[in-house]
Amino acid sequence: MNGENKTLLVLAAVVIGIILGIFLEQKISGEINVVSSDVKKLEMSIKEIDSSIKAVDSSVKDVKISLAEKEKVSFIRDMQEIGRRMLSLDYAGKFARWDAAKIEIDELDKTLQDAAIMDSQRAPTIQDFRNTYIPKLRDAASKKDAKGFENVWAETYNTCISCHKGAGSPPSAIETLREISSEVDQLSG
Ligand code: HEC
Protein backbone atom coordinates (compact mmCIF):
# COMPACT_ATOMS: atom_id res chain seq x y z
CA MET A 1 0.00 0.00 0.00
CA ASN A 2 1.42 3.36 -1.01
CA GLY A 3 1.29 6.53 1.02
CA GLU A 4 -1.69 7.96 -0.85
CA ASN A 5 -3.83 4.91 -0.26
CA LYS A 6 -2.93 4.94 3.42
CA THR A 7 -4.05 8.55 3.74
CA LEU A 8 -7.32 7.72 1.96
CA LEU A 9 -7.93 4.81 4.30
CA VAL A 10 -7.29 6.91 7.37
CA LEU A 11 -9.61 9.61 5.97
CA ALA A 12 -12.31 7.06 5.24
CA ALA A 13 -11.98 5.73 8.77
CA VAL A 14 -12.28 9.23 10.20
CA VAL A 15 -15.38 9.94 8.06
CA ILE A 16 -17.01 6.65 9.09
CA GLY A 17 -16.15 7.42 12.68
CA ILE A 18 -17.78 10.85 12.48
CA ILE A 19 -20.94 9.46 10.83
CA LEU A 20 -21.13 6.69 13.40
CA GLY A 21 -20.63 9.23 16.16
CA ILE A 22 -23.45 11.43 14.86
CA PHE A 23 -25.70 8.42 14.45
CA LEU A 24 -25.00 7.18 17.98
CA GLU A 25 -25.46 10.62 19.46
CA GLN A 26 -28.86 10.97 17.81
CA LYS A 27 -29.87 7.53 18.98
CA ILE A 28 -28.81 8.26 22.53
CA SER A 29 -30.49 11.63 22.62
CA GLY A 30 -33.68 9.98 21.28
CA GLU A 31 -33.48 7.42 24.06
CA ILE A 32 -32.87 10.13 26.62
CA ASN A 33 -36.01 11.87 25.39
CA VAL A 34 -38.03 8.69 25.77
CA VAL A 35 -36.64 8.11 29.25
CA SER A 36 -37.30 11.69 30.34
CA SER A 37 -40.90 11.52 29.16
CA ASP A 38 -41.28 8.24 31.07
CA VAL A 39 -39.87 9.94 34.15
CA LYS A 40 -42.40 12.74 33.68
CA LYS A 41 -45.22 10.21 33.42
CA LEU A 42 -43.96 8.52 36.56
CA GLU A 43 -43.84 11.86 38.36
CA MET A 44 -47.42 12.54 37.30
CA SER A 45 -48.67 9.22 38.61
CA ILE A 46 -46.79 9.73 41.87
CA LYS A 47 -48.56 13.07 42.22
CA GLU A 48 -51.89 11.39 41.50
CA ILE A 49 -51.18 8.69 44.08
CA ASP A 50 -50.19 11.40 46.53
CA SER A 51 -53.44 13.25 46.08
CA SER A 52 -55.48 10.03 46.39
CA ILE A 53 -53.65 9.23 49.62
CA LYS A 54 -54.54 12.70 50.87
CA ALA A 55 -58.18 12.17 49.88
CA VAL A 56 -58.27 8.82 51.71
CA ASP A 57 -56.61 10.45 54.71
CA SER A 58 -59.20 13.16 54.92
CA SER A 59 -62.11 10.72 54.58
CA VAL A 60 -60.62 8.58 57.36
CA LYS A 61 -60.53 11.74 59.47
CA ASP A 62 -64.18 12.45 58.60
CA VAL A 63 -65.20 8.94 59.61
CA LYS A 64 -63.28 9.27 62.89
CA ILE A 65 -64.92 12.60 63.68
CA SER A 66 -68.42 11.33 62.97
CA LEU A 67 -67.73 8.21 65.07
CA ALA A 68 -66.54 10.38 67.96
CA GLU A 69 -69.65 12.53 67.62
CA LYS A 70 -71.89 9.47 67.63
CA GLU A 71 -70.16 8.14 70.72
CA LYS A 72 -70.61 11.45 72.48
CA VAL A 73 -74.33 11.50 71.66
CA SER A 74 -74.69 7.88 72.79
CA PHE A 75 -72.89 8.68 76.04
CA ILE A 76 -75.30 11.53 76.78
CA ARG A 77 -78.26 9.24 75.96
CA ASP A 78 -76.86 6.61 78.29
CA MET A 79 -76.53 9.22 81.03
CA GLN A 80 -80.14 10.26 80.52
CA GLU A 81 -81.21 6.65 80.85
CA ILE A 82 -79.01 6.25 83.93
CA GLY A 83 -80.83 9.26 85.40
CA ARG A 84 -84.23 7.68 84.73
CA ARG A 85 -83.11 4.35 86.18
CA MET A 86 -81.93 6.07 89.36
CA LEU A 87 -85.29 7.77 89.66
CA SER A 88 -87.30 4.56 89.19
CA LEU A 89 -84.95 2.81 91.60
CA ASP A 90 -85.82 5.29 94.27
CA TYR A 91 -89.54 4.83 93.64
CA ALA A 92 -89.11 1.06 93.71
CA GLY A 93 -87.35 1.26 97.09
CA LYS A 94 -89.88 3.62 98.61
CA PHE A 95 -92.78 1.40 97.52
CA ALA A 96 -90.91 -1.80 98.46
CA ARG A 97 -91.13 -3.09 94.88
CA TRP A 98 -88.04 -5.24 95.20
CA ASP A 99 -88.54 -7.26 92.01
CA ALA A 100 -88.85 -4.04 90.03
CA ALA A 101 -85.81 -2.68 91.88
CA LYS A 102 -83.73 -5.69 90.80
CA ILE A 103 -84.71 -5.17 87.15
CA GLU A 104 -83.83 -1.48 87.38
CA ILE A 105 -80.46 -2.30 88.93
CA ASP A 106 -79.72 -4.71 86.06
CA GLU A 107 -80.67 -2.06 83.53
CA LEU A 108 -78.62 0.58 85.34
CA ASP A 109 -75.66 -1.78 85.27
CA LYS A 110 -76.04 -2.44 81.52
CA THR A 111 -76.36 1.25 80.73
CA LEU A 112 -73.29 2.12 82.81
CA GLN A 113 -71.39 -0.55 80.92
CA ASP A 114 -72.49 0.94 77.62
CA ALA A 115 -71.52 4.44 78.76
CA ALA A 116 -68.05 3.10 79.59
CA ILE A 117 -67.73 1.74 76.04
CA MET A 118 -68.80 5.10 74.58
CA ASP A 119 -66.30 7.09 76.62
CA SER A 120 -62.98 5.31 76.89
CA GLN A 121 -61.46 8.18 78.89
CA ARG A 122 -64.10 7.94 81.62
CA ALA A 123 -64.38 4.15 81.37
CA PRO A 124 -62.19 3.36 84.42
CA THR A 125 -64.20 5.73 86.65
CA ILE A 126 -67.47 4.30 85.38
CA GLN A 127 -66.25 0.73 85.94
CA ASP A 128 -65.20 1.62 89.50
CA PHE A 129 -68.62 3.14 90.03
CA ARG A 130 -70.32 -0.04 88.74
CA ASN A 131 -68.15 -2.35 90.82
CA THR A 132 -68.82 -0.35 93.97
CA TYR A 133 -72.51 0.50 93.82
CA ILE A 134 -74.22 -2.17 91.73
CA PRO A 135 -73.43 -4.95 94.27
CA LYS A 136 -74.43 -2.68 97.18
CA LEU A 137 -77.77 -1.85 95.54
CA ARG A 138 -78.38 -5.52 94.69
CA ASP A 139 -77.58 -6.58 98.22
CA ALA A 140 -79.94 -4.05 99.83
CA ALA A 141 -82.74 -4.93 97.37
CA SER A 142 -82.40 -8.65 97.96
CA LYS A 143 -82.53 -8.05 101.72
CA LYS A 144 -85.72 -6.02 101.14
CA ASP A 145 -84.23 -3.55 103.54
CA ALA A 146 -85.96 -0.23 102.80
CA LYS A 147 -83.79 1.88 105.10
CA GLY A 148 -80.56 0.26 103.96
CA PHE A 149 -81.62 0.64 100.36
CA GLU A 150 -82.34 4.32 100.83
CA ASN A 151 -78.87 4.85 102.30
CA VAL A 152 -77.13 2.99 99.49
CA TRP A 153 -79.21 4.88 96.95
CA ALA A 154 -78.19 8.23 98.48
CA GLU A 155 -74.54 7.19 98.54
CA THR A 156 -74.77 6.16 94.87
CA TYR A 157 -76.49 9.39 93.93
CA ASN A 158 -73.84 11.48 95.68
CA THR A 159 -71.16 9.68 93.70
CA CYS A 160 -73.02 10.51 90.45
CA ILE A 161 -72.88 14.14 91.46
CA SER A 162 -69.24 14.11 92.45
CA CYS A 163 -68.28 12.58 89.10
CA HIS A 164 -70.25 15.27 87.33
CA LYS A 165 -68.44 17.95 89.27
CA GLY A 166 -65.05 16.37 88.66
CA ALA A 167 -65.74 15.64 85.00
CA GLY A 168 -66.68 19.26 84.40
CA SER A 169 -69.94 18.05 82.90
CA PRO A 170 -72.31 20.68 81.55
CA PRO A 171 -74.86 22.34 83.85
CA SER A 172 -77.60 20.31 82.12
CA ALA A 173 -76.32 17.17 83.84
CA ILE A 174 -76.47 18.75 87.27
CA GLU A 175 -79.83 20.31 86.42
CA THR A 176 -81.35 16.96 85.46
CA LEU A 177 -80.01 15.33 88.59
CA ARG A 178 -81.42 18.16 90.66
CA GLU A 179 -84.82 17.49 89.06
CA ILE A 180 -84.50 13.84 89.98
CA SER A 181 -83.65 14.66 93.56
CA SER A 182 -86.48 17.18 93.88
CA GLU A 183 -88.98 14.62 92.55
CA VAL A 184 -87.62 12.19 95.08
CA ASP A 185 -87.95 14.76 97.88
CA GLN A 186 -91.55 15.45 96.91
CA LEU A 187 -92.26 11.76 96.92
CA SER A 188 -90.77 11.17 100.32
CA GLY A 189 -91.98 14.46 101.82
C1 HEC B 1 -67.53 9.01 85.00
C2 HEC B 1 -68.24 10.10 85.57
C3 HEC B 1 -69.74 10.02 85.62
C4 HEC B 1 -70.49 9.22 86.44
C5 HEC B 1 -70.03 8.18 87.44
C6 HEC B 1 -71.86 9.58 86.18
N7 HEC B 1 -71.93 10.53 85.20
FE8 HEC B 1 -73.62 11.36 84.46
N9 HEC B 1 -72.52 12.48 83.20
C10 HEC B 1 -71.14 12.49 83.11
C11 HEC B 1 -70.73 13.44 82.09
C12 HEC B 1 -69.30 13.74 81.68
C13 HEC B 1 -71.91 14.01 81.57
C14 HEC B 1 -72.04 15.07 80.50
C15 HEC B 1 -72.07 14.44 79.13
C16 HEC B 1 -72.04 15.50 78.03
O17 HEC B 1 -72.96 16.34 78.03
O18 HEC B 1 -71.13 15.47 77.22
C19 HEC B 1 -73.02 13.40 82.30
C20 HEC B 1 -74.34 13.71 82.08
C21 HEC B 1 -75.41 13.23 82.84
C22 HEC B 1 -76.79 13.62 82.66
C23 HEC B 1 -77.32 14.67 81.71
C24 HEC B 1 -77.56 14.13 80.33
C25 HEC B 1 -78.02 15.25 79.40
O26 HEC B 1 -79.16 15.21 78.97
O27 HEC B 1 -77.22 16.15 79.13
C28 HEC B 1 -77.52 12.90 83.57
C29 HEC B 1 -79.02 12.94 83.78
C30 HEC B 1 -76.60 12.05 84.29
N31 HEC B 1 -75.32 12.27 83.81
C32 HEC B 1 -76.96 11.18 85.29
C33 HEC B 1 -76.07 10.39 86.01
C34 HEC B 1 -76.45 9.56 87.13
C35 HEC B 1 -77.84 9.42 87.70
C36 HEC B 1 -75.31 8.95 87.55
C37 HEC B 1 -75.14 7.98 88.69
C38 HEC B 1 -75.92 6.77 88.67
C39 HEC B 1 -74.23 9.42 86.70
N40 HEC B 1 -74.72 10.29 85.79
C41 HEC B 1 -72.92 9.01 86.87
C42 HEC B 1 -70.27 11.74 83.85
C43 HEC B 1 -70.64 10.81 84.83
Question: Which CATH number covers residue 129?
Answer: 1.20.120
Q: How many domains does the chain have?
A: 1
Residue 94 lies in a domain: yes
Domain contains 10: no
Whether residue 48 lies inside any domain: the answer is no
Q: Flag whether 156 is in a domain.
A: yes
C-beta of residue 114 within 8 angstroms of C-beta of residue 78: yes
What pLDDT, on a 0 to 100 scale, did the predictor assign at position 174? 64
Using CA atoms, how far apart are residues 135 and 15, in angstroms rounded to an integer?
105
Q: How many angstroms is it from 62 CA to the middle of ligand 1?
A: 27
Task: Please report, in tens digits, the pLDDT of each residue of the chain (189 residues total).
Answer: 688 889 999 999 999 999 999 989 998 989 899 999 999 999 999 999 999 999 999 999 999 999 999 999 999 999 999 999 999 999 999 999 999 999 999 999 999 999 999 999 999 999 999 999 999 999 999 999 999 999 999 999 999 988 888 766 666 666 666 676 666 666 655
For ligand 1, is residue 74 a contact (CB within 6 Å)? no
Ligand 1 lined by 160 (C-beta under 6 Å): yes
Residue 60 lies in a domain: no
Q: Is residue 62 part of a domain?
A: no
Residue 58 lies in a domain: no
**Residue 181: other Cβ atoms inside 10 A:** 16
- Protein residue with its CA nearest to atom 10 in ligand 1: 164
Taking the C-alpha atoms of residue 11 and residue 61, their distance in angstroms, rounded to an integer, is 74
Q: Which domain holds residue 88?
A: 72-188
Record the pTM.
0.76
